[in-house]
Amino acid sequence: MKNSISFSKIAIHGLIILFIIFLLFPLLWVVASSLKSTQEIYSGAPTILPQHISFDHYLSVINGQQIFRSMWNSIVVGVVSTIIVILIAVPSAYAMVRYKSKVNNAILGWILVSQIFPVILVMIPLYVLLRYIGLTDSLTGLTLIYVVWSLPFVLWIMHGYVKSIPIELEEAAVLDGASRSQVIFKVLMPLLLPAIGASALFAFISAWNEFFFALVLMKSPTLATLQVELARYTGMEGQARTGPLAAASVIATIPSILLFIFMRKWLTKGLISGALKG
């Protein structure tokens, strides 16, 4: 019995390690490529680790393209759109759950339907609308698009979380003399924090990774976002400046990794509670 348990444990751990290697390999490959010389990248006998470490590609990225400016643009639109999405989604979800109305189901249905439309279908009408109000080629316009794009899904997630919190908790607080805002900020908010964290992460990553809207809406070179900047390292017929692209990708990954590290507790809690209570 003991032997079989230890064998199954070893097998499970072995599989987990293999899975982690599988997940980490692309990242390792990108980091290694960013540290190889161009000749080494194109050599006929590729190696996983660089034989001679070179920072030339990092220097080329830092000196040549506007990587830090584009990263700043991505951070601005990502953070601001996330804040707005959360500010709108949390009270909206609360209202939809606690104030019963006949239109609630219709709203939820519309949220689901809105996710069906492909980007390319809405691009031209959205562009025309934004141009009409003078928001093309501006970070404001792009942020608004990201808010509109993420809001339905975040609202859907928050709706599920708020619904899972028993109303009795709020009633008990009211009986103890708490006002409506105290109920919201002192009782409900602490319970919603993991969900807010997970939703914020979703909204931020969606904005961070988005390419097509940023490409089409941002005409000025100084307003390019990170994803658009990275695409500029690729060329025609499958060619790419592999070394600089790898270096730029590594630099681009750093903010996302930092964000995940800071928010991983919230994210895990948020995902688990959503899974159990949805």
Q: Which is nearer to another protein, 66 or 164 (CB)?
A: 66
Q: Which is nearer to another protein, 30 or 215 (CB)?
A: 215
Question: CB neighbours of 103 closer than 8 A, spacing ≥ 6?
Answer: none
Q: Which amino acid is at 24?
A: L
Q: Which is nearer to another protein, 104 or 182 (CB)?
A: 182
CB of residue 240 vs another protein: minimum separation in angstroms? 8
Cα–Cα distances (Å) from 37 to 46, 49, 197, 246, in that order, read 12, 12, 40, 12
Task: Using CB under 8 A, pick the residue from 69, 98, 163, 232 that binds another protein.
Answer: 232
13 touches another protein (CB under 8 A): no
**Cβ 171 vs Cβ 239: under 8 Å:** no
205-210: long-range pairs with CB below 8 Å, 24+: 205/256, 206/146, 206/149, 206/150, 207/74, 207/77, 207/78, 207/81, 207/82, 207/146, 207/150, 208/74, 208/78, 208/255, 208/256, 210/146, 210/149
CB of residue 236 vs another protein: minimum separation in angstroms? 4
Q: Which stretch binds another protein (CB under 8 A): 77-85, 155-163, 252-260, 264-272?
A: 77-85
CB of residue 11 vs another protein: minimum separation in angstroms? 34
**Cβ 52 vs Cβ 37: under 8 Å:** yes
Lookup result for tokens 């976002």 = 225
CB of residue 239 vs another protein: minimum separation in angstroms? 4
Q: Which is nearer to another protein, 141 or 152 (CB)?
A: 141
CB of residue 232 vs another protein: minimum separation in angstroms? 5
Q: Which amino acid is at 14?
A: G
Task: Using CB under 8 A, pick the residue from 92, 114, 164, 182 that binds another protein.
Answer: 182
Q: Which two tokens stand for residue 108?
A: 């939820």
133 touches another protein (CB under 8 A): no
Q: Which stretch binds another protein (CB under 8 A): 28-36, 105-113, 236-244, 268-276?
A: 236-244
131 touches another protein (CB under 8 A): yes
120 touches another protein (CB under 8 A): yes
CB of residue 108 vs another protein: minimum separation in angstroms? 25
75 touches another protein (CB under 8 A): no
d(CA 211, CA 8): 44
Question: Helices 242-277 and 56-64, interaxial angle, to 10°?
Answer: 80
Q: Which two tokens stand for residue 195?
A: 């969900």
Q: Which residues bind another protein (CB under 8 A)?
A: 38-39, 41-46, 60, 64, 76, 80, 83-84, 87, 120, 123-124, 127-128, 131, 134, 136-140, 143, 179-182, 184-185, 211-212, 215-216, 219-221, 223, 228, 231-239, 241, 244
